[in-house]
Structure 1
Amino acid sequence: MAPRQSTPPAVLACGEIRTCLLPARQALDIRSAAQLLGLRADERVLLSERPGLYARSPETLTGVDCPLPSANGARVRAVGTVTAHAALTEGRVLQTSAHCRLPGTGPDQRRPWGEYLVRPGVVEPLGRLPHEAVAQGVLGGPRHGDLDVGLIADGLLTRVLRHPLLDQRPPFRSRPTRLRWAALPAAPGEGPSLERFTLAEDELRTVRLRVPEGTTGADLAALCDDLALHDWLLTTVVRMLDGLRLGAGAAHDAGAVVRTLRPAVDHLLHLWMPGARVGRELAALWDPLEERPGFTRQWQALVQRIRDQLTLHAIPAAHREVEPAP
């Protein structure tokens, strides 16, 4: 048998992330988090307490053999494995993430499964990969039957949410978000760049990146997990504030305002740490988002608004509003 040739360098990496509030009345401690995310008996859960409580499951593999999504209608079959994991931040925010890397060329015929299993997270095209068209297809959303890493992330999320540790009683109402990403090669000699961050739909975000050759799928997934986490935090706090009756006419609703905003203080405000778990080579990709639209500026404004409202509603109503004398 001829020796197995090495896989060509990846020219595209892509993935999708689900982020949601853990459906449990109390945040999980480090031991409970390890139980929740123990997806494999042969590997331990990664646990960290600095700079905050964080737990990440072992990687799981899903075999795929299907066409790739493509913006130009090309039907390229690909075979390999998609890597997925689940993570829990401060025992409160749950994420599931699935991703893979694709080389520029592959064999003309399908290989035995054993050859794909020894290269976890690599999905190999049969023939040449039109990587620009496939990247656009990934971000635009796959058609029925195409490779859909979002379905793999969804399946893992469903599995984790069924764990008996969860009492299905979250401390407040929120909605999950999805972040879909694709990374293409940077020009020779250039560093990583964030080409586009788009709020595609109410709950969908898309990210297009350029990264130097050799950037690992794990590093890219860590960056995009971090982006998804902080986008979910912003989105959730904005929705908390939306619809509140504020101002002088809402004096009788002071209790409702406090009940709505207090969960943000108890569960969310201390989670804001952009880039804390991103590799040094990719950490600079946070900079464009801090400049425009200004994630942290918006977060700080929201935090100040919440604190101002809670302070205001702690003042007795008789002193909060003073009617002018006749």
Structure 2
Amino acid sequence: MRPGETTPRAVLACGEVRTCLLPARQALDSRSAAQLLGLRADERVLLSERPNLYGRSPDTLTGVDCPLPSSNGSRVRAVGTVTARASLTEGRVLQSSAYFRVPAAGPDHRRPWGHYLVRPGVVEPFGKLPREAVAQGLLGGGRHGELDVGLIADGLLTRLLRHPLLDQRPPLRSRPTRLRWVALPADPGDGPSIERFTLAEDELRTVRLRVPEGTRSAEVAGLCDDLALHDWLLTTVVRILDGIRLGSAPPPARPRPQGPDDLPAVVRALRPAVDHLLHLWMPRARVAGELAPLWDALEERPGFTRQWQTLVQRIRDQLTLHAIPSSHREVEPVP
């Protein structure tokens, strides 16, 4: 960046997060996680063991030169770079995230790439940005040929899923989810807020945020990574419970189970959730302090942790029920 130049103030940020179960029979330890997430030779993987095992890759940049999506059909060409990164939680849940920020206005012609490379994660429009129309267009996904940050996140995830460390033998069935977000400036003096959180089709979630001026887009991306992780956990455990017949009569108890195939079907279905998922629930563990209050709104409505605790209790109740010998379960009522 030349002396006297500054990064333009952003009036819009956007990103997308892809979340999935790591396709490996065993969770990766710290050393293996560092190998998986080592996207750049010149930067180390960030590893943390408190409050849980977590690894995050270095940032990578993707150059873009294309129109921005807009809800009113206006064609706004933009040039810059999109930041992408990946993370692994407890060696088990893999996420890829891509995001960028946009200033209110940009030059009326394209500048040399060096101008954009010294502004990582900034995409500059040609002329004035129709902020509201572009925000709606970005949440809607846009059309072919327009900037699609989800494709960048998906490309990074696909690259990681092909890593030779992964044996492609996940311990349970699950589906990946997508969370697409936009963040607009809050009114002066207001704190951060969630204007809308929706569950759409095809495993897509959308979030529209308001954040105080000066909030770093990396911090907003971190919040949305955390939201995407816990939404994926909820979605996956709900599907596990929906896929089994709870309340049906358990089979007669066998003297001594000899292996996994000897366990009741309900226990076999629920055990992977206990072994690999239930200990991962830890909202806002790595969310910036000024954005952490947004989780309070999610806890109030729709009530993420309340739903999670209910699901966990249902799983524990089922496992307890199937641990009771059949002679104690099958008691005839006395007339």
TM-score where L is the length of structure 2:
0.94
Asked if the contact 2:250/2:264 (under 8 Å) is kept, the reply is: no
Select 1:267's aligned residue among 257, 264, 276. Answer: 276
Asked if the contact 2:250/2:322 (under 8 Å) is kept, the reply is: no
**CA deviation after TM superposition for structure 1 residue 108, in Å:** 0.2
Q: In 2, Cα distance between the equivalents of 1:269 and 1:75?
A: 46
Q: In 1, Cα distance between the equivalents of 2:247 and 2:125?
A: 59
Matched, 1:113 2:122: no
SS at match of 2:70: coil
1:193-232 equivalences under 5 Å are: 193-232=193-232
Q: In 2, Cα distance between the equivalents of 1:174 and 1:246?
A: 19
SS at match of 1:283: coil
Render the CA deviation track for 1:249-300: whole Å, top value 9, x for unaligned. 3546971100110111111111111001000000001111100110000000
SS at match of 1:77: strand
1:125 corresponds to: 125
Gaps spanning 5+ residues in structure 1: where?
none
2:326 corresponds to: 317
Select 1:297's aligned residue among 293, 306, 311. Answer: 306
Render the CA deviation track for 1:121-148: whole Å, top value 9, x for unaligned. 0000010101111110111111100100
Matched, 1:12 2:47: no
Q: In 2, Cα distance between the equivalents of 1:3 and 1:276?
A: 38
Q: In 2, Cα distance between the equivalents of 1:132 and 1:146?
A: 17
- Tell me the C-alpha RMSD between the 2 structures: 1.5
1:55-70 equivalences under 5 Å are: 55-70=55-70
Render the CA deviation track for 1:43-77: whole Å, top value 9, x for unaligned. 00000000000000000000000000101111100
Q: In 2, Cα distance between the equivalents of 1:245 and 1:229?
A: 27
Q: In 2, Cα distance between the equivalents of 1:243 and 1:321?
A: 25
1:135-214 equivalences under 5 Å are: 135-214=135-214
Asked if the contact 1:86/1:96 (under 8 Å) is kept, the reply is: yes
2:289 corresponds to: 280
SS at match of 2:62: strand
Asked if the contact 1:248/1:321 (under 8 Å) is kept, the reply is: no
Q: In 2, Cα distance between the equivalents of 1:216 and 1:251?
A: 56
Asked if the contact 1:184/1:210 (under 8 Å) is kept, the reply is: yes
Render the CA deviation track for 1:204-225: whole Å, top value 9, x for unaligned. 1000000111100110010000
SS at match of 2:264: helix
Which one-letter code corresponds to 1:38 in the other structure? Answer: G
Q: In 2, Cα distance between the equivalents of 1:95 and 1:187?
A: 31
Which one-letter code corresponds to 1:272 in the other structure? Answer: W
1:243 corresponds to: 243
SS at match of 2:55: strand
Report sequence identity in percent. Answer: 82
1:39 corresponds to: 39
Asked if the contact 1:20/1:175 (under 8 Å) is kept, the reply is: yes
Q: In 2, Cα distance between the equivalents of 1:23 and 1:42?
A: 27
**CA deviation after TM superposition for structure 1 residue 6, in Å:** 2.9
Q: In 1, Cα distance between the equivalents of 2:177 and 2:85?
A: 17
Q: Which runs of 4+ in 1 moved over 4 A?
A: 2-5
Moved more, 5-14 or 271-280: 5-14
Q: In 1, Cα distance between the equivalents of 2:248 and 2:192?
A: 49
Which one-letter code corresponds to 1:89 in the other structure? Answer: T
**CA deviation after TM superposition for structure 1 residue 248, in Å:** 4.2
SS at match of 1:142: coil
Matched, 1:93 2:93: yes
**Alignment length (residue pairs):** 325
Q: In 2, Cα distance between the equivalents of 1:309 and 1:10?
A: 50
Render the CA deviation track for 1:21-47: whole Å, top value 9, x for unaligned. 000000000000000000000000000
Q: In 2, Cα distance between the equivalents of 1:321 and 1:121?
A: 63
